[in-house]
Amino acid sequence: MLDDRKLAVLRAIVEDFVSTNEPVGSKALADRHNLGVSPATIRNDMAVLEEQGYITQPHTSAGRVPTDKGYRLFVDRLSTIKPLSIAERRAIETFLSGAYDLDDVVGRTVRLLAQLTRQVAVVQYPSLTRSSVRHVELVPVAEGRLLLVLITNTGRVEQRLIEAPPRGSGGSGGSSPQSKPGSVSEESIGHLRALLNTCLDGLGLGDVPTAVADLPDKVGPDDRPLAAAVLSVLLETLVEKHEEKIVFAGAANLAAVDFSQSLREVLVALEEQVVLMRLLGETGDSSKVTVRIGTENPDLGLRSTSVVAADYGVGDLTLARLGVLGPTRMDYPSTMGAVRAVARYVGQILAGS
């Protein structure tokens, strides 16, 4: 167990190395930080920290740099999340509140995170399995054509065109010679719309297929073909959107970082959706920011990076995760503050959408 003085020395080493990207020596620590002890005492403390694996000596330099173990102790015990300024919070809220749909929210969020942290930002779309139906709309757009609009509680809006079949084509007597193929009355549309919203409002998307299975039986014989067509398009929409999606931005920020021989591996890993899903796939306490450092990352190509992530959601419902990826030599307090703030604002935007 490290005493308070050695913890203070470790904190100073991490802060100086993050700031300068240069190995840190005892004299520099004594000059820059009010540690209250001599450089000789600091050297002794650094020797203990190195022996216990918290810092290491690169090459023949007289200075030391933090290890993954040192960064982990810094994040867990020594750092405090740096709150954003009032101006920064106002700028985030204004920028995100201008979004007009879910794609725009995600797009603005990933760009904003990359700009705030100067790291690679990663944002996961709200999980389909955690979404529920907010409203279903049927809108006539042309003769024999309807627009199906599905709106979820996560802000997702899906639109599909439906070709209306001839009225009565599904009944026992077939279509009437007087019926106009593809014509749909406002009354039929209104009735079907009301049925859909009655049985689907607030229902999880995974439960929709069971809830609408008997939909054609709830309308008259002449409208059953239309109900079957709407049902078919609705279920196809859910199947198409089953695969989750992740977007990232700010890969150019990696150019300013010395990854030595591992930059290519980092870029290759970022191109793989499976890798990004695995990075953000572990949800935890939504009130906390999680940090994965260096060798704690499951992908070999990302062992020289750290990932700072947080859940976002509506109320107590966690929808997905967002975060940033950068070098282990990152400003953890500021990065954690930015990720936490953006996650909170995204939840607020989606709750009001």
CATH for the stretch 86-127+244-352: 3.30.450.40
What percentage of the chain exceeds 70 in pLDDT?
89
Please list, in sequence order, all residues whose beta carbon lies within 8 angstroms of the beta carbon of residue 37, skipping any fewer than 6 positions away: 5, 30, 45
* Domain 4-78 grouped into CATH 1.10.10.10: yes
Task: Using the predicted structure, report yes or no on whether residue 319 has a pLDDT greater than 60.
Answer: yes
Secondary structure, 3-state, 74-102:
HHHHHCCCCCCCHHHHHHHHHHHHCCCCH
Over 70: is that where the pLDDT of 327 sits? yes
Between 181 and 73, the more confident residue is 73
Return mean pLDDT, the chain: 85
Angle between helices 186-200 and 224-240 (to 10 degrees): 50
Does 243 or 185 have the greater pLDDT score? 185
The pLDDT tens digits of the residues spanning 98-121 come to 888 888 999 999 999 999 999 999
User: Does residue 350 surpass a pLDDT of 90?
Assistant: no
Contact 327, 304 (CB under 8 A): yes
Neighbours of 47 (CB within 10 A): 13
- Mean pLDDT for 197-225 is 87
Lowest mean pLDDT among 31-35, 159-163, 274-278: 274-278
**Among the listed ranges 65-74, 259-268, 306-315, 336-345, which one has the minimum average pLDDT value?**
259-268
The span from the CA of 348 to the CA of 343, in Å, is 9
> Quick one: pLDDT band at residue 240, thresholds 50, 70, 90?
low
% of the chain surpassing 90 pLDDT = 46
User: Which of 174 and 144 is assigned the larger pLDDT?
Assistant: 144
Please say if the pLDDT value at position 178 is more than 70: no
Sequence spans of domains, the chain: 4-78, 86-127+244-352, 134-240
pLDDT at 122: 93
* Predicted local distance difference test score (pLDDT) of residue 153: 80
- pLDDT reading at 256 higher than 60: yes
SS (H, E, C) the chain: CCCHHHHHHHHHHHHHHHHHCCCECHHHHHHHCCCCCCHHHHHHHHHHHHHCCCEECCCCCCCEEECHHHHHHHHHHHCCCCCCCHHHHHHHHHHHHCCCCHHHHHHHHHHHHHHHHCCEEEEECCCHHHCEEEEEEEEEEECCEEEEEEEECCCCEEEEEEECCCCCCCCCCCCCCCCCCCCCCHHHHHHHHHHHHHHHCCCEHHHHHHHCCCHHHHCCHHHHHHHHHHHHHHHHHHHHCCCCCEEEECHHHHHHCCCHHHHHHHHHHHCCHHHHHHHHCCCCCCCCEEEEEHHHCCCHHHCCEEEEEEEEEECCEEEEEEEEEEECCCCHHHHHHHHHHHHHHHHHHHHHC
What's the confidence (pLDDT) of residue 259?
63
What is the band of 49 on the pLDDT scale with cuts at 50, 70, 90? very high
The residue that leads in pLDDT, 179 or 146, is: 146
Per-residue pLDDT reduced to its tens digit, 136-168? 999 988 888 899 998 888 777 788 899 888 665
Q: Report the pLDDT value the prediction gives residue 13, as an integer from 0 to 100.
A: 96
* pLDDT band with cut points at 50, 70 and 90 for residue 175: very low
Question: In this predicted structure, what is the pLDDT of residue 320?
Answer: 87
Q: Is the confidence at residue 172, as pLDDT, over 50?
A: no
For residue 184, the model assigns a pLDDT of: 79
Domain 134-240 has CATH 3.30.390.60: yes
Burial class (CB in 10 A: 0-12, 13-18, 19+), 292: buried
Mean pLDDT of the region 235-253: 77
| pLDDT value of position 325 | 93
Work out the average pLDDT over 250-278.
Answer: 77
pLDDT on residue 181 = 44
Task: Check if the beta carbon of residue 84 is closer than 8 Å to that of residue 77.
Answer: no
Taking the C-alpha atoms of residue 161 and residue 159, their distance in angstroms, rounded to an integer, is: 7
